[in-house]
Amino acid sequence: MVQTDICIIGAGPAGATAALQLAYMGIPCVVVDKAVFPRDKVCGDGLSGKVLTLLSRIDPGIAERLQQYVFKEDSWGVTFIAANRMSINIPYKPGYEKLPGEPRGFVCKRIHFDNFLVEELRRCPQVQLIEGKSITKYDLRPDGYLLTDASGSLQIRTKLVIAANGAHSGFTKDVAGIRMEPKHYVAGIRAYYSGIKGLHADNLIELHFLKNVLPGYFWIFPLPNGEANVGVGMLSKVARRRKINLKQLLLDAVQSDPVLRERFRDATLRGNIDGYGLPLGSKKRRLSGERYMLVGDAAFLIDPFTGEGIGNAMYSARMAAQQAAACIAANDFSAATMLAYDANIARVLGPELTMSTRLQKLIRFPWLLNMLMRLGARNKELQELMTCMFHEVDLRKKLAKPQFYLRLLLGRGLRP
């Protein structure tokens, strides 16, 4: 029997971040994960600037150690490729060529990135990490939760639960009552290849909006040592309706698409092609209740347009840790008090999720992306605007409005 004020279920990016933030505030916690680290997690392995920003807010030392981590590849931006095969390169930061040493994002296999975070946890005396135990029972009692693992050999008494156990969280389903809805969920698969030709010299990640994958995309994310993460993500509702086998879709794309076939001619598939779900933040949900908060994928917070979930998982986890500190200080774990966490999520992540939901709906129309690429290829102003989209939610708002495309077609200025 383990006794604690705060138990975090899951030590992925969300769980580890919550524990690191608590440790930084001097608050002890127990973190329990069903896996033993290092462990893999099916993912595109793309990490946006949000990750470093968030870690440096917790402790600049952690961000610095991640900057020096050898298992990652720095990436300077994104190449968008429309169905008509026209493409534009959009750097994360305007003029990045002039600022070497300041990457805005990177690609790192999850077996390495998640282990980096867990190693950080191991440095914290306030964190008790329990590995290899799957929590399957959650009993709410007057003084807190009694959590039990699948074998019955571990019991944890805790005043508060932070559920960070990912896309298939039993806690989310059984306690919070949130279920998978195919229109708010993406099915994704990823493979590792080596020897793909034509990767960008600055490791721009590639999003290919192939016609038969919309609304979703095929991606190539460059990794260290000439490897790349290659995958496909597609709205589950559409994949089910069209009875699509994603593995076959990926293999068909690299074998039959005229451009990709050439680039993959000498490439080698390394290991298996694996799949996992992406719970999207395209619907507002209640993420807390009496004595609990949901974070990361367990809270359905993945960006519906980009598929980015790690950054949002870490942002939500830090907010949950701060809320947990307030609950402990006030000795108040009521559902009403926990609403402050929901309000914070809505304030910080809400506007971005709303805009991305609109953009996700727009990319269903291949002609729209084709047009954007055609105009973007020769319109510097549009390229700059898309660069700023990465940091400015207000600009995403603009991209989600029909008037924007009308102005574009009429050749009018894009900024007010």
Residues within the interface to ligand FAD (CB under 6 A): 9-15, 32-35, 41-46, 134-136, 164-167, 170, 188-190, 231, 233, 276, 278, 296-298, 302, 307-311, 313
Nearest to 306 by CA among 125, 44, 41: 44
Phi, psi of 62 (to 5 degrees): -65, -45
Q: Quote the CA–CA distance of 238 and 260 in Å, as a whole number.
A: 23
Q: Which is nearer to ligand FAD, 307 or 376 (CB)?
A: 307
Q: Which is nearer to ligand FAD, 5 or 33 (CB)?
A: 33
Q: Which is nearer to ligand FAD, 220 or 278 (CB)?
A: 278
Structure letter (DSSP) for residue 104? S
Structure letter (DSSP) for residue 132? S
Q: Which is nearer to ligand FAD, 135 or 161 (CB)?
A: 135
Tell me if 185 sits within 8 A of 278, measured CB to CB. Answer: yes
Nearest approach, Cβ of 272 to ligand FAD (angstroms)?
13
Nearest to 163 by CA among 154, 171, 174, 175: 171
Q: Which two tokens stand for residue 333?
A: 């774990």
Nearest approach, Cβ of 404 to ligand FAD (angstroms)?
26
Q: Which is nearer to ligand FAD, 105 or 382 (CB)?
A: 105
Q: Which residue is nearest to ligand FAD (CB)?
A: 309
Nearest approach, Cβ of 44 to ligand FAD (angstroms)?
3
Q: Quote the CA–CA distance of 402 and 404 in Å, as a whole number.
A: 5
Q: Quote the CA–CA distance of 92 and 102 in Å, as a whole number.
A: 11
Phi, psi of 146 (to 5 degrees): -110, 115
| Spatial CB neighbours of 310, under 8 Å, sequence gap ≥ 6 | 13, 43, 47, 48, 50, 51
Q: Which is nearer to ligand FAD, 295 or 385 (CB)?
A: 295
Nearest approach, Cβ of 410 to ligand FAD (angstroms)?
36
